[in-house]
Amino acid sequence: MAELEGLEFGKSDFVLLDEVTMEQFMENLRLRFEKGRIYTYIGEVVVSVNPYRQMDIYGKDTIEAYRGRELYENPPHLYAVSDAAYKAMKRRAKDTCIVISGESGAGKTEASKYIMQYIAAITNPSQRAEVESVKNVLLKSNCVLEAFGNAKTNRNDNSSRFGKYMDINFNFNGDPTGGHINNYLLEKSRVVHQQEGERNFHSFYQLLRGGSEETLAAFHLQNDPAVYVYTKEGTSNNDRTSHKAVISALEVIGFSKEEINSIYQILASILLLGNLQFESDGESVQILGQEAVNQISELTATEPESVSKTLLYRTVATGGGEVIEKGHTEQQACFGRDAFAKALYERLFGWIVGRINTVIEVKDYNPVLHGKNTVIGVLDIYGFEIFDNNSFEQFCINYCNEKLQQLFIELILQQEQAEYQREGITWQHIDYFNNQIIVDLVEQPHKGIISILDEACLTVGNVTDTVCLDSMDTKLAQHPHYTSRKLSPSDKSMEFQKHFRIRHYAGDVTYSVEGILDKNKDLLFQDFKRLMYNSTNPVLKEMWPDGQLSITEVTKRPLTAATLFKNSIVALVDKLACKEPYYVRCIKPNEMKSPMLFDDARCQHQVAYLGLLENVMVRRAGFAYRQPYARFLQRYKMTCEYTWPNHLMASDREAVEAIVTQHGFQDDVAYGHTKLFVRTPRSLFTLEQERAALIPILVLFLQKVWRGALARMRCRRMRAIYAIMGCYKRYKVKAHFWEVERRFANVRNMADYGKSVEWPTPPAALAQFHKNTVMLHRRWWARQIVKKIPPSDMLEVRAKVAALTALSGERKDWGISRAWERDYLANCDLFLPLLSQVNRFNKSTDRSLLVTDKFVYKLEPKKQYKVMKRLPLDAFTGLSLTSGVDQMVVLHTSSEDDVLLCLQRGVLCPNQDRVGELVGALVDHFTRVRKVQFPVKVCRSAVQLHMRGKLKSVTVETKPGQAAADFKKSRDGFILLFPGN
């Protein structure tokens, strides 16, 4: 916690000072700087002192320590205010902005980089590729803009010579989806002139010192900046490294190789322009050295003649519409050259910013589909400047700081006090300096300095800088914040007809009027614009769209630089005013860039003009947090049993009072007409802690209720589904019954009793029922067929059915087509076929077989069927036969040798098969009469039988044309050769 810092580090919040005096403020600021504590709070404002050294307080561990924490939960840090702005944006879906202000060299640029790094580090936890790409472009854009927009000054080695405001767009998840960069007032005069000890923009030195030999040769350059007029002042040790980083950043952002090459071609052409020299012979002006013109022509993809003509002549349209060419004087040619160089660089910088914006801007955003798009703005703009020689650029920069200070006053001091008065809160008014009078001095229509400058620029005739100064002295003589040597003759710090002074909120600044009108005008001749528009380089052509106008079409004078800047700053302030602001106030501890020196007088001056002491007084006397009752109740009602989930009190104010009373904050709040005011952040932090602890419980409760609702919905849906399924199943069953009934309605009258009728496919639920129904129909069909058979034929039918069942389709022909006489001898009960018996001595004899219901008799047909052997029918356990057309049968017995027989096919019909009749008679008798099974085995090759206690195997082969049976003994038993058909 910030309050837990040791007393040896001073007070981490200036609001906690014992007395609010400048002495105590400065003593606390000095102590913290000397102890390495460069950040201090004023409520939610962060005061940052430039340490002029690298500090190990920006790593991943520090980022994690500040992620998601409240402002006063950790020691003061840039990350704390960054996280506060991010949380406000994400929690309340409100646009926020971080305004970084301070003098040049106070550390604004570094602060903006750390803020960007923190926001990039805490977003996109799921590492989505498209979000990472946006973050990379946003971070890399800093590197590019620093190279082309920053320069070394006497106060700062990396001074921003332009103003930058970046909007970062976030989706409803809090992940960056894009952004937009606005740039303000690039100090283009630095391209052609720098004060002693300062440098041109970094990009020139990075190209000259970091470019490869091949690149420099292609651009007609040398690697020594001192060779060129525009870069005579010094180099830097890290120019080479920075050049590689910039090239890499341009590639990451999405610049093509051709575009990157065009950028550095333009830089090279500017350097070569600066070395152009002119000479006059009294009548005309010539360029010294045509080679330089050819090189510039090559780099800008234009014609050498066009380049020379544009530098030496100006095309003018007369009143009658005639177009003439006017030659320049040597001075005019030099001035035009420098104006062209400045314009080239300014257009290049604007094109680079625009190109970055095309990559990072949010495209095709639909709030309905993607949720609310919120914004965090980061403003890094030049600080207040007081140089030995202050010109037009310092005037604009200091005006910008006046506007930002006025915004700070309105938002932090004026609006806050007005709100206390409006809400009826007891309040002791605090006086503060309102710099609106200075803002009006600069921008007031018809009376302000910008209006006077514009009027002088628009006046026809020879209006000089001195005439313009006289006009300001006349119109502003009575203004308390304006003076000049003419108005104050005794003030020798100013010169007559050269200086005027403005008493800014940050101090008195003396400005020189020399060249101020030329800088305010757009003095670039239209010839230069047409020259660049006609270039075959598409990048250059894109930078100069106004060059397509002919000389006769250019009639309206463009807005002056001061007016354009004023309009952009007014738009910027309006943009900031509609966002919730967070401030970083940067202080420069000394002019020596020393990490040890704390210049008390220098720092006290900055504290005074930044209004920090007044800010402390307002924060100390006021309230750190205020919120309408309804919104406060909506956010914290879950922390009180009387307000959750909804209160039953007369008003929201009473409900808020119940919350405050339950937490014991009565002495730390004030009740306004529409809002609750909380004095210290500690009370708010306690509420946030309790709310954060309750949120998971409430989320779990909501999840439980919602899951129950989902389960009930699913249950009702399933019940409906089952009801529909039940109805459908019943319908399918009934439909099946109706279809069966329709198809089989007339089967009694059919010739085949419905055997040919196709059964409908049953539903799955009736599969078993269908099988049973089919079986019943078959039984009924069989019954109908059997009913037509005479009783005298029933025994034959039963025998055939028994044979059919026993043979199971294994034997193709088994005599089913002939009539089975059964009784082949009168008065025999069952079956008497003729057969041949072959014994083990290879002798074949004719025999008859008589099967009765008790015995099996072997008869001698030649001896009037004399009984030769009788075997009980119970002794037989089954029979075996082959699947062929032979008539061989083996009768298996339980105790005797098996009987091997070959049945004769019949006298009248030699092809009659009698095996089936024998099988049918025996199986029918055993199963129907004796109620036992009589197994029948159909063998495809060898038939097994027992003879003399040994297992024998008999194979039957039929050979056409063989007349008699031939028996051969083998080790496997007997082989029976029987004649075939």
Point out the residues that are catalytic. 104-105, 109, 156, 159-160, 383, 385
d(CA 604, CA 102): 13
H-helix or E-strand spanning residue 765: none
Known binder of ligand: residue 880? no
DSSP 592: S
Question: First-to-last CA distance in the chain?
Answer: 115
Phi-psi region of 234 (alpha: psi -120 to 50; beta: other; left: phi over 0): left
d(CA 72, CA 43): 9
Q: What is the dihedral of CA 788, 792, 795, 800, to 10 degrees?
A: -50
The dihedral of CA 269, 270, 271, 276: what is its sign? positive
Q: At what angle do helices 78-92 and 108-122 cross, to 10 degrees?
A: 50
d(CA 930, CA 40): 116
d(CA 528, CA 307): 9
Residue indicated by tokens 């803020």? 115
Residue indicated by tokens 């003009």? 609
Known binder of ligand: residue 321? no
The dihedral of CA 8, 11, 17, 22: what is its sign? positive
- Contact criterion met (CB below 8 Å) for 100 and 378: yes
Q: Which of 686, 343, 678 shows the shortest CA–CA distance to 521?
A: 343
- Contact criterion met (CB below 8 Å) for 69 and 80: yes
- Contact criterion met (CB below 8 Å) for 67 and 80: no
| DSSP states of 181-193 | EEEE---GGGGT-
Known binder of ligand: residue 108? yes
Length of the chain: 981
Known binder of ligand: residue 447? no
Residue indicated by tokens 């197994």? 935
Distance of CA 873 to the CA centre of its chain: 93
- The tally of CA atoms less than 13 A away on the side-chain side of residue 866 is 4
Residue indicated by tokens 């199986």? 923
Q: What 3 state SS string does 405-435 have?
A: HHHHHHHHHHHHHHHHHHHCCCCCCCCCCCC
Distance of CA 114 to the CA centre of its chain: 24
Q: Which of 173, 82, 71 shows the shortest CA–CA distance to 119?
A: 82
Known binder of ligand: residue 941? no
Q: Write phi, then psi, for 707 (nearest 5 degrees).
A: -65, -40
Known binder of ligand: residue 212? no
Token pair belonging to 502:
């403005």
Q: What 3 state SS string does 743-754 have?
A: HCCCHHHCCCCC
- The tally of CA atoms less than 13 A away on the side-chain side of residue 58 is 17
Known binder of ligand: residue 174? no
Query: Which positions make up the binding site?
Result: 102-109
- Residues in the annotated binding site for ATP: 102-109
